[in-house]
């Protein structure tokens, strides 16, 4: 893939997501975070707590994308195997990081047991990602950022990750809300608009299916050149108006 | 992978998930659905609205798993390219399915335009998946089930998919809720329990991090032999009690 902007992938690690016990929200948080930095999130994978599966997915993703963000599996229990898998993927040893040891010694004192010591292990060459919530750090190795699965901690870790990333031009969005007709009624107009302006992507996201209430669709225009997105949005709004289709512009 | 039970993967298709505009919930719905049928969901991928990316992911997943479930990209607009991509992945032509044409003719009458006609296209050899919400069907080809992205429609389509699947033995779960201590305090006990009972998986999911309120962790035991899960749960509860750690059993 040739990309003008940095690209990224997310690797979600955890049996609890695949069993349905947990509804993942980290992908959405990371997607918004990367969007604000102008980095294109192109792919995500979810795997279970299996070393082989993690190694394979991580190596596939980091071969293609500028950045990979992982979530989950860095706690103190036996099913937390992400650090081991990342070290294996990079072919380097997993070592206790002195700075991480110091941080957790401070936090736990006499209760700094073997299980908690597991959380200080970082693949050789890795640097820490600060965890202002519970102290146990994530880590960066190469262009891979290894973060916690607990949403509150993961979100906090992104603060420390942001300054390390190369930014791209931000993608701008405009939403046109079409009410009273389904997306099949506006598809031809949308297709024509998309053909006429290749620098802007046109998405259609219907709402209110089959329900008694309002139906309609959100037309979302996205692109890096804000003036072109704005112009395409005005143009589409005009054409929809001419076709007698009620449309309002809304916050993206 | 050698698996005693049917395995499955989910392929989520849609720029809106990767841009952060939409929080996916379909993966969780499908995970719970498959869990109830005893089918192991081992992997999920999220890709954008790009034919090449969809084809590659779909072929990788269907080479390894018994079933693949896709969501998204089967509507009437130009960005709905899933049917095209699935046909390409299978190397078969994409044809208007007569039954789908009849269904949508009935629904739309005079408003059955070219865009809506796109929704009748099915890869050769495919069969329809009923959509009781908005009629436009999904389809099955081989062991791949192609469903809508709108959660309400996707969920309804699973009703028609269920009878087509080979079932496995259901996985049973027990949750022990440990309060007042972090997971680092129970990790050794959990590791010992996991080593002693290999037919049961032991997960640990902390809650209440860094907040002022209660902290603790949910220990989740899962396995196909309910008696062994129950025995392991009672055993773990007893050991935790001996260690003076407050624990309650809760609904899984």
- pLDDT single digits (tens) A95-131: 999 999 999 999 999 999 999 999 999 999 999 999 9
Residues B191, B103, single domain; the answer is no
Residues B178, B160, single domain; the answer is no
For chain B, give the DSSP string: ---SS-EEEEEEE-HHHHTTSS---HHHHHHHHHHHHT-EEEEEEEE-S-HHHHHHHHHHHHHH-SEEEEES--SSSTT--HHHHHHHHHT--EEE-HHHHHHHHHHHGGG--HHHHGGGEEETT-EEE--TTT---EEEETTEEEE-SSHHHHHHHHHHHGGGSPP-PPPEEEEEEEESS-GGGTHHHHHHHHHH-TTSEEEEEEESTTSSS--EEEEEEEES-HHHHHHHHHHHHHHHHHTT--EEEE--
Min Cα–Cα distance to chain A from B85, Å:
17
Section B167-184 average pLDDT:
92
- B48, part of any domain: yes
CATH of the domain at A235: 3.30.70.2860
- A108, part of any domain: yes
Query: What is residue A213's predicted lDDT score, i.e. its pLDDT?
Result: 66
Cross-chain CB nearest to A41 (options B18, B27, B79): B18
Q: Longest C-alpha distance within chain A, in Å?
A: 74
State how far the Cα of B30 lies from the Cα of A61, in Å rounded to an integer: 24
Which of B103, B134, B164 corresponds to the end of one domain? B164
Domain count of the fold of chain B: 2
- A2, part of any domain: no
State how far the Cα of B86 lies from the Cα of A147, in Å rounded to an integer: 34
Instruction: Residue A238: give the domain boundaries.
Output: 172-250
- A20, part of any domain: yes
CATH of the domain at A94: 3.40.980.10
Residue B174 in contact with residue B237, Cβ under 8 Å? no
Answer yes or no: is the ipTM higher than 0.90: yes
Q: What is the pLDDT of residues B179-189, one digit of tens each?
A: 888 888 899 99
pLDDT confidence tier of residue A246, bands split at 50, 70 and 90: confident
Residues A221, A132, single domain; the answer is no
Query: What is residue B210's predicted lDDT score, i.e. its pLDDT?
Result: 59
Which of B164, B191, B211 corresponds to the end of one domain? B164
Cross-chain CB nearest to B20 (options A28, A53, A108): A28
Query: What is residue A250's predicted lDDT score, i.e. its pLDDT?
Result: 79
Query: What is residue A95's predicted lDDT score, i.e. its pLDDT?
Result: 98
Min Cα–Cα distance to chain B from A252, Å:
9
- B1, part of any domain: no
Residues A179, A66, single domain; the answer is no
Q: Taking CA atoms, what residue in B is nearest to A61?
A: B45
Query: What is residue A211's predicted lDDT score, i.e. its pLDDT?
Result: 57
Residues B153, B182, single domain; the answer is no
Residues B184, B237, single domain; the answer is yes
- A245, part of any domain: yes
Q: What are phi and psi of A17, to 5 degrees?
A: -75, -40
Q: What percent of chain A has pLDDT over 90?
A: 89
Which of A136, A164, A192 corresponds to the end of one domain? A164
Most A CBs within 10 Å, among B21, B65, B108, to test the A interface: B21
Residues B157, B194, single domain; the answer is no
Cross-chain CB nearest to B18 (options A31, A45, A183): A31
In A, which residues are within 8 Å of B65 by CB distance?
none
Section B92-106 average pLDDT:
98
Q: What percent of chain A has pLDDT over 70?
A: 96
């Amino acid at each position: 893939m040739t990309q003008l902007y940095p690209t990224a992938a997310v690797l979600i690690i955890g049996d609890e997501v695949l069993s349905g016990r947990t509804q993942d929200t980290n992908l959405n948080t990371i997607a918004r975070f990367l969007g604000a930095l102008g980095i294109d999130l192109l792919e995500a994978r979810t795997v279970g707590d299996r070393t082989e599966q993690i190694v394979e997915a991580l190596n596939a993703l980091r071969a293609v994308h500028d950045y990979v963000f992982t979530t989950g599996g860095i706690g103190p229990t036996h099913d937390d195997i992400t650090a081991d898998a990342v070290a294996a993927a990079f072919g380097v040893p997993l070592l206790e990081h002195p700075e991480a040891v110091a941080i957790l010694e401070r936090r736990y004192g006499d209760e700094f047991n073997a299980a908690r010591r597991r959380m200080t292990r970082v693949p050789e060459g890795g640097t820490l990602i600060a965890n202002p919530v519970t102290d146990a750090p994530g880590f960066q190795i190469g262009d891979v950022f290894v973060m916690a699965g607990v949403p509150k901690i993961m979100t906090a870790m992104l603060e420390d990750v942001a300054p390390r990333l190369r930014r791209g031009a931000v993608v701008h969005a405009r939403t046109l809300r079409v009410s009273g007709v389904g997306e099949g009624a506006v598809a031809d107009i949308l297709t024509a608009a998309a053909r006429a302006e290749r620098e802007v992507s046109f998405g259609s996201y219907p709402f209110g299916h089959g329900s008694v209430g309002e139906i309609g669709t959100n037309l979302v225009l996205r692109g890096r050149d804000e003036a072109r997105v704005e112009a395409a949005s005005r143009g589409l709004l005009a054409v929809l108006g001419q076709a007698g289709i009620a449309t309002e512009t809304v916050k993206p």
